[in-house]
Structure 1
Amino acid sequence: MNEISEGLLQGLHEMTGLEAVAVLFAVLSVIFQKKNNILVYPTGIISTGIYTYLLSREHFKLYADATLNAYYLVMSVYGWLYWAKKGPQKTPIKITRSTKTELLTAVIIAVAGWGIFYLLLVNFSDSNVPVMDAFISAVACSGMWLLAKRKLENWILLNISNFVAVPLLFYKHLYLTAFLTIFLFIIAIFGFISWRKTVQQEEISHS
């Protein structure tokens, strides 16, 4: 416990302005996500852009996580455009449950992504945590794809990624980002409950 406290204090002392901005906008992004607010994307773009740079630095060597954040950035642009899109009644695209095809696609993205990330890390990087780094990134990629399509199940996949990421971040002494991830995990639980309630109300109104 003392080591974690000391690490947190050291992290606060060494935290760069960029990391502070990334953490702030990551918190804002997940709060907007819970509220089903399109501002999840511009705030997310700022945070992921900064993390892409920070995590790729040689000191951390979390190359898959850096690539994941680059993917987040691209998907944030796609999601922003998709959420702004109007449906048949000129209303925003609604939150819905994933279809069987979409869930299957999400699983394929996660499994295939894990394998691809792992092979790339083992063969083309000096990562010392290729299995966990690859898994976290692949599952999060899958979750981000469902988020961009405004699917309820995105929260489940993103939280699996968050759950596995926490011990890895502590291992890498990224204490601030680890505590941020714990916060995101908690918010995601409430986000899932809130989105599920919205979906259930929509289903009842059409039953």
Structure 2
Amino acid sequence: MFDYFFAQYSTYPLHEVYLELIAVFFGLCSVWYAKKDNILVFPTGLISTSIYAYLLWQWSLLGDSMINVYYFIMSIYGWYHWTRKKDNVEEFPISIMTLKEKKMAVIIFIATLVFVILVYLYFNKFTSWYSYLDTLLTGIFFVGMWLMAKRKIENWIFWIVGDILSIPLYLAKGYTFTSFQYIVFTIIAIYGYLEWRKILNKKNLPL
């Protein structure tokens, strides 16, 4: 069993194994802080996403690599967005999506799919089911991160779906630590949604 999950690491460059473990650690920290609605979600996320952007490109998961570049940029935006206050009150608290934001989410999803498909075609990387699933995940995670930065509770739904789909992808690719990370991500994301929903219920906002 151990060999099935970890034997492939014996052939990987040692620095990539260390980088993956560091990225996993800070990734888990970031999702935990997101669950707690803690602004530390962004600095920890910046460390994890910058490492994964490099590793995923090396692993030929171009869509996920671009996701992490996008995460990095959106983490900076989200960090600023979450700190904005007016009269010492949070200007952008946890909330639900408006109709306009739902329409924008659809546009972001479709535009992302089109862009990633073009990238894969350009590099001639549509060689296995990994590529197709990676393309779908890119669209899901792009929307999820956008909603996270805007502090919308629906972000958790996108994270949950994307995390579940990522588990078999990374396991099949041989990146066991990252696959296990997404199992934990899924659990935390479910609790994150429930915790944010309690906050909204206290404000008497409909879900």
Alignment TM-score > 0.5, same fold: yes
Larger displacement relative to structure 2 (28-37 or 91-100): 91-100
Q: Could you tell me which amino acid in structure 2 is paired with residue 69 of structure 1?
A: N
Larger displacement relative to structure 2 (111-120 or 23-32): 111-120
How many equivalent residue pairs? 198
- In the TM superposition, residue 125 of structure 1 has moved relative to its aligned partner by 4.1
Tell me, in whole angstroms, the C-alpha distance in 2 between the residues paired with 1:187 and 1:116. Answer: 30
- Structure 2 residue aligned with 1:159: 160
Report SS of the residue matched to 1:16: helix
Tell me, in whole angstroms, the C-alpha distance in 1 between the residues paired with 2:173 and 2:32. Answer: 26
Structure 2 contact 20–177 (Cα < 8 Å) conserved: no
- Structure 2 residue aligned with 1:138: 139
- Structure 1 residue aligned with 2:194: 193
Report SS of the residue matched to 1:105: helix
Structure 2 contact 126–132 (Cα < 8 Å) conserved: no
Tell me, in whole angstroms, the C-alpha distance in 2 between the residues paired with 1:20 and 1:38. Answer: 23
Matches within 5 A, 1:1-207: 2=1, 5-10=2-7, 16-57=17-58, 60-87=59-86, 89-92=87-90, 93-128=92-127, 129-203=130-204
Q: Could you tell me which amino acid in structure 2 is paired with residue 8 of structure 1?
A: F
Q: Could you tell me which amino acid in structure 2 is paired with residue 10 of structure 1?
A: A
Larger displacement relative to structure 2 (129-138 or 116-125): 116-125
- In the TM superposition, residue 130 of structure 1 has moved relative to its aligned partner by 2.6
Structure 1 contact 7–173 (Cα < 8 Å) conserved: no
- In the TM superposition, residue 61 of structure 1 has moved relative to its aligned partner by 0.6
Tell me, in whole angstroms, the C-alpha distance in 1 between the residues paired with 2:134 and 2:203. Answer: 37
Tell me, in whole angstroms, the C-alpha distance in 1 between the residues paired with 2:138 and 2:113. Answer: 7
Structure 2 contact 144–159 (Cα < 8 Å) conserved: yes
Structure 1 contact 82–148 (Cα < 8 Å) conserved: yes
Report SS of the residue matched to 1:77: helix
- In the TM superposition, residue 108 of structure 1 has moved relative to its aligned partner by 1.8
Tell me, in whole angstroms, the C-alpha distance in 1 between the residues paired with 2:55 and 2:65. Answer: 8
Structure 1 contact 115–134 (Cα < 8 Å) conserved: no
Larger displacement relative to structure 2 (66-75 or 99-108): 99-108
- 1:96-124: CA deviation from partner (whole Å, max 9, x where unpaired): 01111111211221122112212221222
Moved over 6 A (4+): none
- In the TM superposition, residue 80 of structure 1 has moved relative to its aligned partner by 0.3
Q: Could you tell me which amino acid in structure 2 is paired with residue 99 of structure 1?
A: T
TM-score relative to the length of structure 2: 0.89
- 1:148-202: CA deviation from partner (whole Å, max 9, x where unpaired): 0000000001221112111111111111101101110110000000001101111
**Structure 2 CA distance for partners of 1:122 and 1:45, relative to 1, 3 Å:** same
Tell me, in whole angstroms, the C-alpha distance in 1 between the residues paired with 2:122 and 2:160. Answer: 28
Instruction: Structure 1: state its 5+ residue gaps.
Output: none
Q: Could you tell me which amino acid in structure 2 is paired with residue 103 of structure 1?
A: K
Tell me the C-alpha RMSD between the 2 structures.
Answer: 1.7
